[in-house]
Structure 1
Amino acid sequence: MTTVFYLAASAMLAFALALLLVPLVRQGRRDGRSRGVFALAVVVALALPTGSAALYMLVGTPATLGGVEAPKPMSLDQGIEALLAHLKASPDDPEGWMLLGQAYAMGKRPAEARDAYGHVLTLLPDNVAAMVGWAEADSLARDDHRIDGRALDLLERAASLEPANQRALWLLGIAQFQKERYPDAIATWQRLQPLLDPDSNVAHAVAKQIAVAQARVAAGPGNAATGNMGGTR
């Protein structure tokens, strides 16, 4: 009965985790996130409950583990160090570089994130998630937060390869707005609008920026309203 209980419990937990993660995977892909990151999450979600059940059956009931100290969760810095060690041994692992770029971005280290995404693009030149990540990290690493040069080129290519990539369209519109290419920014953000939940804060922000750009067009050259959009927020 104990064995049956653990197997049944682990199966139910795995199923519940899968139900939770599948929508996250789909949303992540729409946002341009790496497929490998979410695939790894699903594998872990499915393997962890079954592995835990097997461990309990091997060493005894959870009560017998009461005196064992639980492992401490890994910090972001520790995770980065682990990734760096892995990439030192396997420098041609694009998923490892992608994870490192995302970790640096989470840690607000945009210059290092840009470098990590650059390694991905060296290995996989058409990786859209890396293109978008590189462009965003580059803008955050700059003092003026502008999206220009290679960043703009990458966003234009990303939006061409994945026309429904929300992050690519948002950032490309910002770049066009910064360059006072207001009609282009309007067109880009209008492509983004149908992809968003119309009641979301993001959709409202996009609609507001379209209105600002339209006002700039109506004002004509030299008569644009004050204010600009210097960052990627």
Structure 2
Amino acid sequence: MLDWRQATRQLPELINRAIDPRARPLNETELQALALGLRTHLSHDANSPEGWSLLGRVGIMLNNATLATQAYGRAHAIAPDDLPAASGYADVLTRTGEPEMLQQAAGILNHLLNLHPDNLRILQLAAINAYQLERYDLAIARWDKMLSLKEGSSRWRADIEQKIALARQHLSAKVH
């Protein structure tokens, strides 16, 4: 069982390792300690969208949908126009596949696209969300825009083109 005092002492080191792409990845025990340390820290500094977003990322890494959704939701509530907080929240809502949450994510993504119309991550999330909502025409339009914005590797382009083809099949079947 993790001790919150120990997790709080380790928090700076664990955060540095979590955000440094060159650092050794955190193992599950370290991720649990990071989550506990962050929760303890956020109980004293509850208005930190960065802290809540990081806790949301940790929730994803721990495969804990509840933690990820709650943490990103809190970050988004604090800073609705903050790109990492809002996109993280839309991402976890979309991952649920639940209609009500998909609709909520669609609203967030539409708002973000108004602010950042050429952001590839937002376009990708919005395309996936539209696809899950069976708005195939919208998913195709967003993937097409991604293709127009980025040259990308042939593998990346082929992946997007495959998604477009599948959405077109669904759209065709829906029309007939």
Deviation for aligned residue 1:93 = 1.5
Matches within 5 A, 1:73-152: 75-142=30-97, 148-152=102-106
Partner Cα distance (1:165, 1:146) in 2: 25
Please say if residues 68 and 92 of structure 2, whose CA atoms lie closer than 8 Å, have aligned partners that are also in contact.
yes
Counterpart check, 1:165 vs 2:123 = no
Matches of 1:110 and 1:220 in 2, distance apart? 31
* Residue matched to 2:11: none
Aligned residue type for 1:165: N
For the 8 Å contact 1:97–1:117, the answer to whether it is kept is yes
TM-score by length of 2: 0.74
Deviating more after overlay: 90-99 vs 191-200: 191-200
Structure with the higher fraction of residues in helix conformation: 2
Normalising by structure 1, report the TM-score: 0.57
1:198 aligns with 2:152: yes
Looking at structure 1, the residues matched to 38 and 82 of structure 2 have their Cα atoms a distance apart, in angstroms, of 20
CA distance in 1, matches of 2:91, 2:19: 24
Does the 8 Å contact 2:94/2:129 carry over to 1?
no
Query: In 1, Cα distance between the equivalents of 2:99 and 2:156?
Result: 20
Identical-pair percentage: 28
Q: Does 1:175 align with 2:137?
A: no
What stretches of structure 1 move > 6 A for 4+ residues in a row?
none
Query: What count of residue pairs does the alignment treat as equivalent?
Result: 155
Does 1 or 2 have the higher relative contact order (CA < 8 Å, sep 6+)?
A: 1
* Higher gyration radius (CA): 1
Q: Which one-letter code corresponds to 2:105 in the other structure?
A: A
Q: Would the alpha carbon gap of residues 199 and 140 (structure 1) be closer, same or farther in structure 2, given more than 3 Å must change?
A: same
**Cα RMSD between the aligned structures?**
2.9
Query: What stretches of structure 1 of length at least 5 have no aligned partner?
Result: 1-36, 46-72, 223-233
Q: Report deviation, 1:154.
A: 0.7
- Alpha-carbon distance change, 108 to 177 in structure 1, aligned in 2, over 3 angstroms: same
Equivalent in the alignment of 1:214:
168
Q: What amino acid is the match of 2:80?
A: P
By how many angstroms is 1:204 displaced?
Answer: 2.0
